[in-house]
Structure 1
Amino acid sequence: MAKKESEHETIWGGPTKRFFVSMLTRDIGLSDAILDLIDNCVDGATRQLKGRLRSEERPYDGYEARLTLSAKSFDITDNCGGIPREAIADAFLLGRPKVEKDKDLPTIGMYGIGMKRAIFKIGQEAIVESYASDGAFSVEYDRAWLEPENQEWDLSIAPLKNKKEKGVTICVPTLKKEISRQFGNAAFQNELRNKVSEHFGYLMQKGFSIWVNGEKVRPKTLQLYTSDSPKDKGIRPYDFEATNNGVHIRVTVGFYRTLVRMEEVDEAAERTQEKEQAGISVICNERLVLENDKSLITGWGDGSVPKYHPQFRGIAGFIIFSTDEPEKLPISTTKRDLDVGADVYLFARKYCMEGLRECTDFTNKWKGMEDEATQHFDLATKRDARTEVNFAAKHGVPIRGNEKAKKFSAKLPVPEQRNPMRRISFTRKEDAVRSVSEHLFGESGQKPSVVGQECFDRALKASRK
């Protein structure tokens, strides 16, 4: 009997275990995978705080995450509420089936793969324990389940005796070999602490605590020079805020240090600089996504904004996106990369470029007169850019065509018109510079900038005779 036209064969179109446990883990670095786990802790606390996040200065006081890592094992424990019974099934799926799960909450967990991907990357086996107000349980990822060729997807879940403190613990008793080497390395542990302090610095300001191997991590946040009065001539940041399609946007660009002197520019060209705060960082729902960027991504070298140069090492700032609809944030599944083509990002970038233009123009106008410019910095105070700089909100002017946007231009001091300074810059081979240094100063070790200036000063003196 012939098959009816509506009857047809089917094939399996689902995923393989290998894709998740072996391939997807390659898209994220080890430190970022751990940051994902801390993100989940913060999201748990955020769910507990629903309705109080904007009414308190430090709403996360009392909430914490504790990490312990070594060459032998890894675990992370929080006190952020645990996984409620109704969310258990979704929590262990590879991907989030319900996009609306955290509607009206400023989380960044949209894809439902962070915890699982981190476990797959780090260990050969793992146990997840949850203690929530409506019950406690444990879920085990054993070695057999984590085998790439194993197509069994069911996980073992068992009830636990509940505890007073509600939260989640993830224990990885057996690490992958390459992960063991890194976890046992003191340099990696220090790098992880630094990343945690930068990535969660603004959440720590709101009370959240993070511990790594028993040591409390201190937040790192941006401090910018700010004159007290917005009307006086002084050093102030450019500040902008707006709401675009349900996303609150804040852009602040200013100076975290005094202007770079000519000799510092020369030194920067000769050697690799230590990590510094120059550049633009991007923050989404209080998590750092892009740090100290000096590229086209944040507007450097686009249109009338010059490319980044060591003379601009004093300029720093951030673009901040905040929303209760995390799917509108311009971020990727790793939460560490930007969707730079998103309309909301392009909107914010335009005003970041405006702030960069004001600050680079100021730097260029005072080129060669950095010592004179320092007097203006001396009259300013370094303040926390996220919590203490709010010129747009208090003194900004509305932007035509956007009633929900306000902008405060920095209005930076301009040098008096006089005989302008001009920069002289060139390079010569090191042995030639040392030879001229010996001739001029009787020793060969003077800095190239000092040698060049002395040559010019002597030639100028001779030309005026």
Structure 2
Amino acid sequence: MSEVTPDTLFGGPTKRFFVSMLTRDIELADAILDLVDNCIDGAMRSQPDFADKETPFKGFKASLTVTPEKFEISDNCGGIPADYIEEAFQLGRPNIKKDGDLPTVGMYGIGMKRAIFKMGKNATVYSNAKDGAFSVNYSSGWLDPENTEWDLPISRSEREEGVEGVQIQIPELKEQISKTFGNDSFINSLMADIQDHFGYLMQKGFAVSVNGIDLVPKTLVLHSAAHSAQNEIRSFDYTGNHDGVDIRVTVGFFRALVQETEIDKETKAPSESEAAGISVICNDRVILLGDRTMKTGWGDAGVPRYHPQFRAIAGLIEFRSNDAEKLPISTTKRGLDAGSDVYFVARKAVTEGLKTFTSFTNRFKGIEEEANQFFEKATRSDVKKEISLAEEHGVPVRGAVAKKYVPVLPEPTNKTIRNRISFVKAEDEVKAVSEYLFNDSSQKPAIVGAECFDRFLKEAKK
């Protein structure tokens, strides 16, 4: 700690703040994802021309071991170069422009340290790079919140033969972390998170394994016919640039329209397993997955609030910039700064896309089977790799450096306006009405409700 004179006050941090407090701001899975993200940054630094390749990360891999006894992550992503060592172990990055030529999302320089503080009683970081090798040890004494010592011992050596990369070992876990790592549900959830959040980087060749299991990427696929004069199922697509940030917004249907019986089921037991909603990615990292709230435009600016009938709609908001400060992202790398100017531009575009597909859904309400024939003609296309409607066929957006493609979707043959009637009744009451109407108590609630309406409609028309 700096010496305090009669005319000064110590304004620096305490060890307790970093070791005990800062770790409360991040979930355990997010802390681990931070470490995977650092591996990807290393892969970028090790090949300056990666942006020119279709699969620039092919051959690079992060391997995680997550057990009640230990945590370990190792990669072959080039190691930590000598001129990065000091900043890698400082709590906070003094030079946030150091990776200014890389599309990374790291700005604050706390990810690796915070993950170690959250999980371990001690830890060792080992790096082997082209310009040398070293190891740094976080001892239990150094990690003591009452310890005021900040200097870390480093052991340097010449580059060693073998893999150039980083290995972080935490051989002694905190008790609660050890219990969590022994839970299969947590491990399965962690693997799913990695596949979701790094799916677009894994699509470009980066590999990740957890406890020896190789993970597969998850990316958004939408129904989108090729551009033509015919009204078919296509995606809404927007591409532009705001303040040096490239923006891409794509919205569409990832599946055929939801049937009435599915809506009943979803209302009773909402599903979280499908891709419905809007996801946000920054420099190929997913920071918000399948959002169905006002944050991504639902229930605002003329867009209806999310409802199970819209479960076929999904979309992607993408931001790309070599200046990570301009990205709408928080310190956890998975939190969204929804108040930023660049996000406002993208959100305006996504609301237009949502209106297009919620309107289509409403027009085919009750006649979903008629709509679903159009899906058979539409190709399922990967959003990032195969959809470029705005770039190739879009029209300029007034007052912006942007182009957009608004699809003209099919219309129902019967254009009578339809309204959905939905209400909830006790199961035994529904069975009783079903028995009365059909002499069968097992009819589906939607059929029972429709029959009730049809009978009273006949009476009303007399």
**Deviation of the 1:29 alpha carbon:** 0.2
Instruction: Tell me what 2:188 maps to.
Output: 190
Bigger drift between 193-202 and 265-274 goes to 265-274
2:156 to 154, 159, 168: 159
Q: Is the 8 A contact 2:81 2:130 kept in 1?
A: yes
Instruction: Tell me what 1:101 maps to.
Output: 98
Q: Is the 8 A contact 2:253 2:314 kept in 1?
A: yes
Q: Is the 8 A contact 2:282 2:319 kept in 1?
A: yes
Q: Is the 8 A contact 1:237 1:253 kept in 2?
A: yes
TM-score relative to the length of structure 1: 0.95
**Deviation of the 1:462 alpha carbon:** 7.2
3-state DSSP of counterpart to 1:54: helix
2:252 to 228, 239, 254: 254
Q: Give the whole-Å Cα distance in 1 for the aligned partners of 2:124 and 2:157.
A: 13
Matched to 1:92, the amino acid is: F
Tell me, yes or no, if structure 1 residue 336 matches structure 2 residue 334: yes
1:66 to 48, 63, 68: 63
Gaps in structure 2 of 5+ consecutive residues? none
Q: 1:12 to 1:364 in 2, by over 3 A?
A: same
**Deviation of the 1:228 alpha carbon:** 2.2
**Deviation of the 1:339 alpha carbon:** 1.0
Q: Give the whole-Å Cα distance in 2 for the aligned partners of 1:14 and 1:463.
A: 78
Q: Is the 8 A contact 1:369 1:421 kept in 2?
A: no
Instruction: Tell me what 1:237 maps to.
Output: 235
**Deviation of the 1:163 alpha carbon:** 2.8
Q: Give the whole-Å Cα distance in 2 for the aligned partners of 1:440 and 1:361.
A: 34
Q: Is the 8 A contact 2:227 2:389 kept in 1?
A: no
Tell me, yes or no, if structure 1 residue 138 matches structure 2 residue 135: yes
**Identity percentage over the alignment?**
55
Instruction: Tell me what 1:321 maps to.
Output: 319
**Deviation of the 1:375 alpha carbon:** 1.0
Tell me, yes or no, if structure 1 residue 119 matches structure 2 residue 147: no
Matched to 2:75, the amino acid is: D
Q: Give the whole-Å Cα distance in 1 for the aligned partners of 2:461 and 2:396.
A: 55
Q: Give the whole-Å Cα distance in 2 for the aligned partners of 1:98 and 1:415.
A: 58
**Deviation of the 1:132 alpha carbon:** 0.4
Instruction: Tell me what 1:405 maps to.
Output: 402
**Deviation of the 1:41 alpha carbon:** 0.3
CA deviations over 1:21-74 (Å, ceiling 9, x no partner): 000000000000000000000001111122x23311001111110000100001
Instruction: Tell me what 2:19 maps to.
Output: 21
Q: Give the whole-Å Cα distance in 2 for the aligned partners of 1:428 and 1:70.
A: 47
3-state DSSP of counterpart to 2:188: helix
Matched to 1:310, the amino acid is: P
CA deviations over 1:135-189 (Å, ceiling 9, x no partner): 0010000000000000011111112461332100000000000000111111111
3-state DSSP of counterpart to 1:386: helix
Q: Give the whole-Å Cα distance in 2 for the aligned partners of 1:36 and 1:426.
A: 44
Q: Give the whole-Å Cα distance in 1 for the aligned partners of 2:340 and 2:43.
A: 29
Count the aligned residue pairs.
457
**Deviation of the 1:463 alpha carbon:** 7.4
Q: Give the whole-Å Cα distance in 2 for the aligned partners of 1:266 and 1:69.
A: 40
1:173 to 167, 171, 174: 171
1:219 to 206, 210, 217: 217
TM-score relative to the length of structure 2: 0.96
**Deviation of the 1:267 alpha carbon:** 2.1
CA deviations over 1:50-106 (Å, ceiling 9, x no partner): 2x2331100111111000010000100001111111111111000000111101110
Gaps in structure 1 of 5+ consecutive residues? 1-6
**Deviation of the 1:130 alpha carbon:** 0.3
Q: How does 1:47-62 map to 2 (within 5 A)?
A: 47-50=45-48, 52-62=49-59
